[in-house]
Amino acid sequence: MASSVTIGFVVAATAVSGLLAGTNIDRLIVQMPAWEQVGVLAWATYSREADLGNGLVLYPLEGIGGAFLTACAAVAFYFDRTAPRSAAIPIYAAVVLVLGGLLATTQAAPYMLSLREIGNDPAALQRAFDGLNWWGMVRGVFQVL
């Protein structure tokens, strides 16, 4: 049986990453298809208030916090001689997936952050929406897995 430290980090990483996965599923399956129908101007208005408002606190806490806790779980597992070695592949795969999610976020974030400067130009908003949607899907795959 793994140590309480290893188990604690695995549980905490799972909980925080689970919240992030749920956020991604909602965004990919519910929100983005709806915004495609409503239009990019409405999406930009909402996103400026939500994603660039409270989302600037919540989403990094989920993403970076989940990544940090996942890394801590992997380090604790590595040094925990009581942990079952059969857990190695899932724990180390989680680290790879977390890193993939963070890397995809570095590509998605500039599209969202660009909403601060691009005003209400429909073509620029459509490019921002499309870029965020694409990289959001890539990021979502990593973060949900």
Tokens matching residue 122: 């429909």
Question: How far, in whole angstroms, is CA 71 from its chain's centroid?
Answer: 15
Count of CA atoms in the C-beta half-sphere (13 A) of 114: 18
The predicted pLDDT at position 90 comes to: 97
CA dist., res. 97 & res. 103, Å (int): 10
pTM as predicted: 0.91
The predicted pLDDT at position 37 comes to: 97
CA dist., res. 143 & res. 102, Å (int): 9
Distances from the Cα of 29 to the Cα of 11, 67, 116, 134, angstroms: 26, 23, 25, 13
Q: Which amino acid, 73?
A: A
Q: What are phi and psi of 24, to 5 degrees?
A: -65, -45
Average pLDDT (36-43) is: 98
DSSP assignments along 57-82, one per residue: HHHHHHHHHHHHHHHHHHHHHHH-TT
Q: Sign of dihedral through CA atoms 48, 49, 53, 59?
A: negative
pLDDT tens figures, 43-95: 999 999 999 999 999 999 999 999 999 999 999 999 999 999 999 999 999 99
